[in-house]
Chains A and B, each alone.
Chain A
Amino acid sequence: MPLPIVLTLIALSLALAVIVGFRPNLTRTRSGKMVAFVALLVLPVVATWGGFEEHMDRATSTQFCLSCHVMSEFGQSLHYDDISYIPAVHYQNHFVPPDHACYTCHTDYGMFGTEKAKINGLHHILVQYFGTVPKPENIKLYAPFPNATCLHCHLGARKFEEVNGHHKTPDMLAKVKSGQISCISSGCHDTVHEVGDLKDAKFWSAPK
């Protein structure tokens, strides 16, 4: 549901609830009862659902993830002018949607991937406001980066299937696909955000 519609729905629902609140005697008539039912039950529930969907959707945006100060350096790392940095090359070439870059690579594609990401996000907020925020270079993933996330897009792609680096041994590609060889921690594609490199790095910015 587009944001203007959600906001309009909430505003309409709010206005009707206020009207019923200040004029409860409206409910003495049959039509008044129907208005009260819609104003105090149907519209608030529909509007809240729309608002929840909007919040869930915007929580997948790159801007949302980078709105916490501690994440700003990770955002900068997407602009490294060096193709050896995996997140930067994905972001700059739109291999991932730039507006949803963090979410695309840091949410697993299992049944409860979004829910897990939300719970982790809530944990991050608790740490941000009530805990000790680690330095950006000390922020690590909860678990090793799963190959499944890479394979979600790369599996079946000609470049992935045929590139020489994936055929150094006869069973290498099969091991990558099964997760026996990690794309990242095996050392093949292990240059990721590397926020410690920011000081000396060159940056690329998209043409306006």
Chain B
Amino acid sequence: MNIEAKLRRASLIIATGLLLQFLSLLPLHPLAFIAFVGVGVPVMAVGVILFLLSLVADSGLPGK
């Protein structure tokens, strides 16, 4: 998988996590808190980790 594909994957995972976080902030309910902490944050964190791994796994971003 090239760096651009890795970036695409990481970006879309982060976007999914952020979307879940956004939606969880709309209702005032304990389940919204669980959705934020239990789903939104981990998904976003996985995306960020994949982004960072894509940086260290490759010699550099595209164009180098």
Contact = CB atoms under 8 A, between A and B. Distances in A.
Nearest to A10: B22
A67 B8 contact: no
A191 interface: no
B25 A6 contact: yes
A64 interface: yes
A40 B34 contact: no
Interface in A1-46: 3, 6-7, 10-11, 13-14, 17-18, 20-22, 24-25, 27-29, 33, 36, 39-41, 44-45
Contacts of B29: 64, 67
Interface residues of B, number: 36
Nearest to B36: A55
Interface of A: 3, 6-7, 10-11, 13-14, 17-18, 20-22, 24-25, 27-29, 33, 36, 39-41, 44-45, 47-48, 51-52, 54-55, 58-59, 61, 63-64, 67-68, 121-122, 124-125, 128
